[in-house]
Amino acid sequence: MTARRVAREIAVILMPQLPKNKAGGEALEMGALVEKTVKMLADYAKQNLMDAGAILEKTNFELHNIEAEHPDNARATQVLKPVTLTTEQLREQMVQIERALHLVAEALDVPEMTLASGSSTINIPCKQCGHTNRASFEKYSHAEIRDFLLILLNAYIDHKTEIDEYIKSTRSKWNVERMVSIDRDILRLACAEAFFIDEVPINVAISEAVELCHRFADEKAAKFVNGVLADLSEQAKEFRKTGEFPEYIRNASQVAAAEQRGESLEETTF
């Protein structure tokens, strides 16, 4: 997983906490919000791993009791003999193990913000010949993740009105507020990348959005987001080339800015 993909995943998690307009974004200490979210995710992962460990320990204890209470081990003093379990007993223990695995899987799904920068080496000894194989891999820094995360979130906050207007302008004429929240958040972030972060190729912004859908939503969401972004790709290319919004986007931005100031629509008419 790349640093930018981790940043995108955290951005999706942060989206419901973001302000609804640029003025709110200026009052928000984005860095503190990011740090708070990262700590929350890390704590969640640690708690899941602790809970999984407790379940496995309980399962092991119950299996030991089954052996100890079996008639074949009635006279055993030190070493217990393996015993045959009934299907019901096996099923009960499998349920516990599945719960533990589910908790571990959720913990592993937490974005990898705890990785340190630099490189790491893993030594893999061969049990047959005694030779040790070494594998090195690069880690990315917290700063790399945090920097791209802030760029992405600020691009969205600064241009939220324009992004929503672009989405409304697609052939399907989607009502942004009626979309499934996770689909809407991923779509908005992808538009922020495609239109306003020139260092990210537009096709990469689209493919990454589809990956986020697979990660946080489902195949239906992935097809929906891919379709909307495909409709907007030419407009994103045009904006990157000229740096200018179409007239209908500019008008919508003026109206939104006036509403934030508490002005009437008549007062904004020239």
Instruction: Render pLDDT for 189-219 as a digit per residue (tens, 0 to 9).
Output: 999 999 999 999 999 999 999 999 998 889 9
Domain boundaries, the chain: 159-268
d(CA 26, CA 22): 6
Residues of the chain falling short of pLDDT 70: 1, 19-31, 34, 77, 108-142, 260-270
Q: What is the pLDDT of residue 198?
A: 96
d(CA 124, CA 126): 7
**Domain 159-268 CATH (choose: 1.10.940.10, 3.90.105.10, 3.40.50.1000, 3.40.50.300):** 1.10.940.10
Closest CA to 240 of 187, 208, 206, 199: 199
Q: What is the pTM of this model?
A: 0.65
Q: What is the pLDDT of residues 8-25, one digit of tens each?
A: 988 898 888 876 655 554
- Contact predicate 258/265, CB 8 Å: yes
Q: What is the pLDDT of residue 200?
A: 96
Q: Strand 118-125 vs strand 132-139: parallel, antiparallel, or unpaired?
A: antiparallel
- Contact predicate 42/110, CB 8 Å: yes
Q: Which value, in Å, is the radius of gyration of the alpha carbons in the chain?
A: 26
Q: CA dihedral defined by 213, 218, 221, 223, rounded to 10 degrees?
A: 90
